[in-house]
Structure 1
């Protein structure tokens, strides 16, 4: 089977096709009575020459997932998380912090703004993924569970206090990521300015 497959690949290869085209030229010379009695040698020689000069086979380029694919997955999970959060009742202070955090996450995950920069920042995507898929749902779910037990047996630290601290820490992480992305975009802008200035100087020198 492997030999048959290799033979079929050779039949479709550039070397065979180019050689065959040159061999047909040899046959044309034979029919034109140019090759004479040595036509088999001429045809074989032209085929071999064509096979040698044919461009080498180029292996197909491997296809990899689009860099933004992981971010699309996180964006879909964020939509699921928003549905879950909309059904949870939180105290006013924590609710305000949660709204601030989710608005920031939505901005970072916006397909028209953050995708291009984040697709080249795997650490940034990991940070968003961890907040959306683990840290934020864990913080809210733990609060809901602890609040129920606290009503039965009140403790010293209120669950609301811990939730507010956790949301504040997650907001800080998201804000740092936003700052990093802003600085990356600023460096790109500065680099483009230097490029245009340099091109302008070179153009002025040549004129």
Structure 2
């Protein structure tokens, strides 16, 4: 395995090319009786001056592939949320938030714009995979403890506040994507205006 890897390496290819030059020098009579040393020396010199092998870049998923995985996770999250009983106010906020997330993740041109914004993909991923499940799960666990210790602050308030903050974050992302498209449209208008001059 290592031998075949070396045979295909840049060092061997460069060394072989220089070694062939040594054979040409031998056949033209320039190398004389020292031709084996000349060929070996030129091979070694070629192998030394060849650029080093560069390891291949890691094969990270493309933003589109990341969005496909995120859609699957969003589906899992939806199945989880369907099983959780929430107070009406929190349930309403959750419906608004999941509706907006669903629209952003829906395949089409919106997702294509989102895929070109790595920070936006990261933000959406964090909301779907971490923040939203954590907010709901913490509410469910805290609600049980609240029943054991009446008179404490109801966990519904925290959940509603968390859902509001996540909604605002999703709306900021939506506004940023809309702004990106608006700038693109303005750039195209300027391009057409400049071309018509």
CA distance in 1, matches of 2:124, 2:185: 25
Instruction: Report what 1:36 is aligned to.
Output: none
Distance apart, 1:172 and its partner CA: 0.4
Instruction: Report what 1:190 is aligned to.
Output: 186
Moved beyond 4 Å, runs of 4+: 1-10, 61-65
Instruction: Report what 2:153 is aligned to.
Output: 157
Distance apart, 1:123 and its partner CA: 1.2
Are positions 1:141 and 2:134 aligned together? no
Are positions 1:166 and 2:159 aligned together? no
Equivalent residues, number: 176
Secondary structure of residue in 2 paired with 1:114: helix
| TM-score, reference length from structure 1 | 0.67
CA distance in 2, matches of 1:74, 1:104: 14
Are positions 1:90 and 2:86 aligned together? yes
Secondary structure of residue in 1 paired with 2:186: helix
Q: Deviations over 1:45-85 (max 9, x none)?
A: xxxxxxxxxxxxxx9x9795433222222121111101100
Structure of greater Rg: 1
Q: How does 1:28-39 map to 2 (within 5 A)?
A: none
Residue segments in structure 2 that go unaligned for 5+ positions in a row = 14-26, 29-53
Instruction: Report what 2:46 is aligned to.
Output: none
Distance apart, 1:107 and its partner CA: 1.1
Secondary structure of residue in 1 paired with 2:124: helix
Instruction: Report what 1:72 is aligned to.
Output: 68
Are positions 1:115 and 2:103 aligned together? no
Q: Residues 8 and 168 of structure 1: is their aligned pair in 2 closer, same or farther, counting only changes over 3 Å?
A: closer
Structure 1 vs Structure 2 CA RMSD: 3.8
Mapped contact 2:77–2:133 kept (Cα < 8 A) = yes
Higher deviation after alignment, 174-183 or 118-127: 118-127
CA distance in 1, matches of 2:112, 2:93: 28
Q: 2:173 is matched with which residue: 157, 169, 177?
A: 177
| TM-score, reference length from structure 2 | 0.71
Residue segments in structure 1 that go unaligned for 5+ positions in a row = 14-39, 42-58, 202-207
